[in-house]
Structure 1
Amino acid sequence: MRTGYRLMISVAALVAVMVGMSGCSSAGSDDDSESWGVFVLDGASAQPSVMPSDDPAGDDPDLTMPTPNSRPSRVPAAPFAPHTASCPRALPVHPSLPRRAGYITWRDGRVTSSTTSRGGQPVWRAAPQWPSSRRLGTPMTFVAQIALNDDVVPGGAGHTAYLFVSAAPGLPTWDPEQGESAVVIQPGGSPVVPTRPLRTGPTRHDEVEVAKLATQLDPAFVPEADGGVGDDVWSSIAPEKVGGTPAFLQYDEFPECGRVDRLALQLELGTGVGYVFVTDDLAYGKYVEQY
């Protein structure tokens, strides 16, 4: 079952990439069933407006660059993507235990800083920290915000994670180490990408949907090398959710060689799945896409 599903996802992703290479359409189209499957800007071209630069800050006084001590010592930086030969398995460093998850039903509703939602604009818990594309230097596109809780990570209650992804076609948003996606955590987080004090900016979709959560207990994570979970179990943990056990479409891929292994959000993208992970001390997060 899972193999066939992954094959369909891969074919759909190939078609999406081919369409993306020919141009972008607005996410504000009438066909909402497709608008969540492709990263585009509402009402604006997603084509690169700035050439790649080794110094994205340039002369911009509003751009805040991450500093070496932005990363907590308990979660050291990894100089390689988690699926390279240097890190062939990328398994979680914490014990694999059953985890509570909030399974999502999207609906209309009012958004606050303690709401899990997608689309619209972020509701900041602290001063705005809008991330910028590493290659283009332009603001990323807001995707969703996640109200964290103690089931995601101890001490998570009272914190919100904000997911951003670069919208220009062809950028490696699937790789958490490429600087084309960002997870900002407030309060107290230390982003690992450049940010600007923008309260509003590009959004994946103007319309806002709020998550209604139904809680259940996910089984412990089982690495593929150890057989993985059965197809029936995988299907049960595959829907969109806050927290819980990730249902990877492809290989096991916890960011930074498994050192960032607390799943905060599993989000369907139409042609694949996005996974938001956060650090133990809520300093920052990483985002993975699989197709």
Structure 2
Amino acid sequence: MLVGQAFPSETYHPAMLTQPTGQAQGPYDAAFLPRLQMTLRPADEPVTEPVAKFGGQPVWLDEPAWPVNPRTEEPLVFIGQFRVPGEEVRLAYLFLDEDGRIMGMYPTDGEAVVLTQPDGRVPPFAVIGPPGTQGRTLWRWGRDETPIPVEYLVDLEPPTPESDAETDKMAAWGRSLRQEGPEIDLPCGDVLEDFLGGTAVFPNHRAFELENDSWQFLCQFTDRGEEEEGYPFFLNFGYGSGFVFLSPDHREGRFLADCG
């Protein structure tokens, strides 16, 4: 368990804690195991290491490639970056449009872009801005409704066996609703909301527009609404969760928001 370890550290590599299974057949299988809970820790200074984080500035492993909205040409908001499990140091970067609507509901409209580096493929619907393009980073609202940029490190830790089991049961319940498994009762225990690896838990039980073997689940995290006292940052998924997916070769990504 690495929570609380001094950072940065040459020995701290979150990707070493969970590994590709090599057996996932799509978004409903476990592409990476074991499942690890994600917890947030405010960064004391700007993060420049290739580690998982929310907010701040991207730590590019290749040339900077900031995506823009294909209709307005406005730069998307940098949400965060996530370590891709495996021996190679690789990052998945998430950018979303924010215009008062639920963020990232349509995986291929260019308003939700996941880039991977190094040697990644830019999704065919994504528009990369000219050199030097830079947009907003993740924020929280100040008392006068002024956006305040934030940056949080992501610590990874094994969940409790009870919460891990309940999360698997909820995923199994979703499979039963898709008629892909035996019928089970709705679990009533605590289910994880922010985690990397394992099987995903979709509020509406499906990875809409991503239901084929091309996409494998990486991580999910819940939204943070402005009405929450002390919330770390603002993300609008309609009281739901956001999901990051990767291609089997880890060179291309997708994002889906599933509202509650």
TM-score class, shorter = 0.5 to 0.7
For the structure 1 residues 113 and 234, does the alpha-carbon distance in structure 2 shift closer, same or farther, using more than 3 Å as the test? farther
For the structure 1 residues 214 and 201, does the alpha-carbon distance in structure 2 shift closer, same or farther, using more than 3 Å as the test? same
Q: Deviations over 1:28-64 (max 9, x none)?
A: xxxxxxxxxxxxxxxxxxxxxxxxxxxxxxxxxxxxx
Aligned residue in 2 for 1:290: 258
For the structure 1 residues 215 and 181, does the alpha-carbon distance in structure 2 shift closer, same or farther, using more than 3 Å as the test? same
| Residue 102 in structure 1 maps to residue 36 in structure 2 | yes
- Mapped partners of 2:64, 2:33: distance in 1: 31
Any gaps of 5 or more consecutive residues in structure 1? 1-90
1:93 Cα shift?
A: 3.4
Aligned residue in 1 for 2:219: 265
For the structure 1 residues 200 and 133, does the alpha-carbon distance in structure 2 shift closer, same or farther, using more than 3 Å as the test? closer
| Residue 114 in structure 1 maps to residue 50 in structure 2 | yes
How high is the TM-score relative to the length of structure 2?
0.65
| Residue 243 in structure 1 maps to residue 197 in structure 2 | yes
- Mapped partners of 1:201, 1:214: distance in 2: 31
1:104 Cα shift?
A: 1.0
For the structure 1 residues 131 and 234, does the alpha-carbon distance in structure 2 shift closer, same or farther, using more than 3 Å as the test? farther
Q: Deviations over 1:81-109 (max 9, x none)?
A: xxxxxxxxxx9538835831221110123
| Residue 202 in structure 1 maps to residue 202 in structure 2 | no
Aligned residue in 2 for 1:52: none
User: In the alignment, which of 104, 109, 112 is matched to residue 173 of structure 1?
Assistant: 104
Residues 141-152 of structure 1 aligned to structure 2 (within 5 Å): 141-150=77-86
| Residue 182 in structure 1 maps to residue 136 in structure 2 | no
- Mapped partners of 1:140, 1:269: distance in 2: 18
- Mapped partners of 1:168, 1:267: distance in 2: 20
For the structure 1 residues 235 and 252, does the alpha-carbon distance in structure 2 shift closer, same or farther, using more than 3 Å as the test? farther
What code does the residue aligned with 1:286 have?
A: R
For the structure 1 residues 188 and 234, does the alpha-carbon distance in structure 2 shift closer, same or farther, using more than 3 Å as the test? farther
Contact kept? 2:28, 2:200, Cα under 8 Å: no
For the structure 1 residues 142 and 228, does the alpha-carbon distance in structure 2 shift closer, same or farther, using more than 3 Å as the test? farther
Q: Could you say what secondary structure the match of 2:243 adopts?
A: strand
Contact kept? 1:146, 1:242, Cα under 8 Å: no
What code does the residue aligned with 1:132 have?
A: V
| Residue 232 in structure 1 maps to residue 187 in structure 2 | yes
For the structure 1 residues 249 and 171, does the alpha-carbon distance in structure 2 shift closer, same or farther, using more than 3 Å as the test? closer
Identity within the alignment, %:
23
1:213 Cα shift?
A: 0.5
> Runs of 4 or more off by more than 6 Å in structure 1?
none
* Structure 1 or 2: more strand by fraction: 2
- Mapped partners of 2:101, 2:27: distance in 1: 34
Contact kept? 1:255, 1:286, Cα under 8 Å: no
- Mapped partners of 1:264, 1:199: distance in 2: 27
Q: Deviations over 1:166-195 (max 9, x none)?
A: 112347721102221000000011111111
Q: Deviations over 1:172-224 (max 9, x none)?
A: 72110222100000001111111123474211221111011103586495423
1:234 Cα shift?
A: 7.8
1:125 Cα shift?
A: 1.1
1:259 Cα shift?
A: 2.8
1:227 Cα shift?
A: 4.9
- Mapped partners of 2:34, 2:59: distance in 1: 25
Q: Could you say what secondary structure the match of 2:211 adopts?
A: helix
- Mapped partners of 2:156, 2:208: distance in 1: 24
Aligned residue in 1 for 2:8: none
What code does the residue aligned with 1:267 have?
A: F
Q: Could you say what secondary structure the match of 1:139 adopts?
A: coil
What code does the residue aligned with 2:110 have?
A: G
Between the two proteins, the alignment pairs up a number of residues equal to: 195
Any gaps of 5 or more consecutive residues in structure 2? 1-23, 140-148, 225-238
What's the Cα RMSD here? 2.9
What code does the residue aligned with 1:133 have?
A: N
